[in-house]
Chain A
Amino acid sequence: MDPSSDIRTGLQHRLVDTFVDLADTLVEDFDVVEFLSMLSERVVEVSIASEVGILLADETGALRFMASSDERSHLLELFQVQNREGPCQDCFTTGEAIAVDDLADARHRWPLFVDRALATGFRSAQAVPLRLRGEILGAMNLFRTEVGGLDESDLAVVQAMADVATIGLLQQRQLDRAHTVTEQLQGALHSRIGIEQAKGIVSEQAKLPMEEAFARLRGHARNANHKLSDVARAVVAGELSAADLRA
């Protein structure tokens, strides 16, 4: 057998493992930001992406950062600038997957986004929609440090992962009304904002960079078996301080 088919088989195994893990999480009472962060990390493992992020539209139609495979600040800004321009914005507007095989060729299209992406060390990018019954809720964004795109089977895997993200965002089974969907998405957005507020507090209390503050919050949530959003709420309420967080 040629070695490339071994790689394929290995990838398929990892993919199956990933879906089993994600399905396991989904039957429990899980934290949505933690779930989406884990999902983003898994997409990096099973695809050729270097980094992955998930964006969700808020009530005004602006895309908001929800989670990523890495919380470094410049990466976060790269996701966030796409509420103005970039592949995620276009993906959200058109509902179609967007592929940018060479970012250097897309400067005229998204000058702000492309300059930042190149400066961060990325060479190509993809965006796939988070869909629910024809409505676009947001987008999953992939970045690579090399030029080149996803082939068709990669794209199918990534779209499947984006669909899992949508399922994770909509935790309730009863989705017969758009009300319910909107309410759940609102919950997810507010949960992320609360985490950003808590990051700022921990970062200032412990003199840590933002990504370290996030790691502390997340580590504490895992170790204490609490939801990340509950830990963030306790920090904002002053019930927990940076010194109380168990790394």
Chain B
Amino acid sequence: MRGDRLVRVLDALAGQAPAPLPERLCAGASVLLDARGVGLALEIGDGELQTVAANDLGHRVERLQADLGEGPAYLAYQRGVPVLVPDLANDTTWVAFGPAAIGAGIAATFAFPLHRGTVRVGALTLCRDRAADLTDDQYADALVIARLALDLFLSLQAGGAEDDLDRLLAEQVDDSAQIHQASGMVSVQLGISVQAALAVLRASAYAADRSLHDVATDVISHRLRMDDPT
């Protein structure tokens, strides 16, 4: 069953050595997805991605993408769908990144967007030192990891602690329609993007020690406005 997948991924993360959550996410992804390198990057404006955490070969793949401004993370981020390159030697997607990555010892690479609906935050990049496709199981696990990474970054943006795994997991389960509706409403109230509005909602929930869902419900039912100074 699919619920078991989430539990398995969470177990793998919990089993990693204590470190800030983005690092643990990379380490856990390496083990689960048989990837010698993992990188996490966030969009920092104008579609530019900046590395937040990486391990092993992931440092190299992230560095190349940052230097060249192209690569699987950029493509996954721009298109909002996973990018799968199981054999980089036989791929012509990137004029510069492809040969450079092969030169750096990368034989296969995969990237997953960190997104929710129209909100796009960044991308998760995986790489291998030998050519091989992801199995269907690894692909499904990668989606869960990308989802957790997204929740983690939204939580950090909202002022959450870098090592508060429990809080992250509690919030993570909640992805209800109300939260997305409230994000839309708050984006109009404050004249900001839906993504920023989601961070405001989360911050508001943290500050009041309430669940994101409860805060969202208050916004939708007009009991709470984010532009209200009181």
Contacts and interface: CB of A to CB of B under 8 A. Distances in A.
Interface in B177-225: 177-178, 180-189, 194, 220
B119 interface: yes
A93 to B, nearest CB: 7
Interface string A58-87: 111110110000000100110010000000
- B3, B173, B188 pick with most chain A CB within 10 angstroms: B188
A219 to B, nearest CB: 18
B136 interface: yes
Given A65-B177, A178-B140, A190-B116, A205 B188 contact: yes
- A177, A194, A200 pick with most chain B CB within 10 angstroms: A200
Interface residues on B, range: 35 or more
Contacts of B115: 190
B91 to A, nearest CB: 17
A60 B150 CA distance: 13
A196 B2 CA distance: 24
- B6, B116, B117, B178 pick with most chain A CB within 10 angstroms: B117
A59 B143 contact: yes
- A64, A179, A203 pick with most chain B CB within 10 angstroms: A179
- A73, A183, A191, A193 pick with most chain B CB within 10 angstroms: A193
Contact of B185 (A61, A80, A194, A203): A203
Contact of A178 (B136, B178, B185): B136
Nearest to A233: B118
Contacts of B147: 59-60
Nearest to B143: A59
A80 B176 contact: yes
